[in-house]
Amino acid sequence: MSIETISLSGRKKVVSNKEMTFFERMYLIAIVKGLMITIKHLFTRKVTIQYPEQVREMSPVYRGQHQLKRDEQGRENCTACGLCALSCPAEAITMKAEERKPDEKHLYREEKYASIYEINMLRCIFCGLCEEACPKDAIYLTTSKVLVPSSYEREDFIFGKDRLVMPLDIAMQNAQLKNAN
């Protein structure tokens, strides 16, 4: 047997063009068979849910929109080390570092900070490797259900620091929660 004719999957079947008999052409058995399948499915478990009333449980590893964290004092954690961009398989992250001025100590935690930090959401595949690579606990993939809001312009999908950094009031809330505990 030549290799071209071997069925590697074992599912190769030769199609026959045999003419059907009169009894077969009435499709009686075929219809009953089909109905049996339909009835059988009436008694199996439903795979759909009543969406607005019922909500499916989220996976514990769900990864949504990115956020650049602030610490309890409201300073940005990110120090532009570039490890997230290095680990990113889609090459979606770019950044530019700047040196912190003496009067900016309340804004940034380290000597160096990211003056530009951009994620191209059209490239991002939400794999979470940036989060894993981050040595400063700065970038996180949140559980936000909004992944990327739709838009007409490509530029709208390049998220800068204005859309990525955790808002100050949330950082304040977190700090208060931590103190309360």
Partner 1 sequence: MKVTIDGQEIEVEAGTTILQAARMIGGESVPPAMCYYSKLKGSGGKCRCCLVEVAKGSDADPRPMPKLMASCVTGCMDGMEVNSKQSDRVREARQSVTEFLLINHPLDCPVCDQAGECDLQDLSFEHGKSKTRFIEEKRTFEPEDIGPNIQLHMNRCILCQRCVQVADQLTDNRVHGVMDRGDHANISTCISKAIDNEFSGNMIDVCPVGALTDKTFRFKSRVWFNKPYNAHRECTTPGCCGKTTVWMFGDEIQRVTGRKDVYHEVEEFICNSCRFEHKDPSDWVIEGPREFDKDSVINQNNYTQKLDTVHIATEEGILKGREQDRKKISMPAIPLDKEQEEIFKKGNL
Question: Which parts are annotated binding residues for [4Fe-4S] cluster?
Answer: 78, 81, 84, 88, 124, 127, 130, 134
Query: Cα separations (Å) of 31 from 20, 37, 38, 39?
Result: 16, 10, 11, 12
Establish if 89 lies at the interface with partner 1 (CB under 8 A): no
Q: How far apart are CA 163 and CA 158, in angstroms?
A: 10
Does residue 92 touch partner 1 according to CB under 8 A? Answer: no
Residues 114-143 that bind partner 1 (CB under 8 A): 135-136
Binding partner 1 (rule: CB under 8 A), the pick from 91, 104, 132, 137 is: 91
Which residues pair with residue 18 across a beta bridge? none
Helix (H) or strand (E) run with residue 54 in it: none
Q: Is residue 72 within the footprint of partner 1 (CB under 8 A)? A: no
Closest by CA to 151, choosing from 172, 118, 112, 122, is: 122
Binds partner 1 by CB under 8 A, chosen from 99, 104, 132, 137: 99
Residue 131 Cβ vs partner 1, minimum distance, rounded to whole Å: 15
- Whether 66 contacts 140, CB under 8 Å: yes
Residue among 90, 97, 129, 148 that touches partner 1 (CB under 8 A): 97
Residues 129 and 84: their CA atoms lie apart, in Å, by 7
Looking at the Cβ atoms of 58 and 125, the one nearer to partner 1 is: 125
Q: Please report, as ranges, the residues that interact with partner 1 according to CB under 8 A.
A: 2-4, 8, 79-83, 85-86, 91, 97-99, 110-112, 135-136
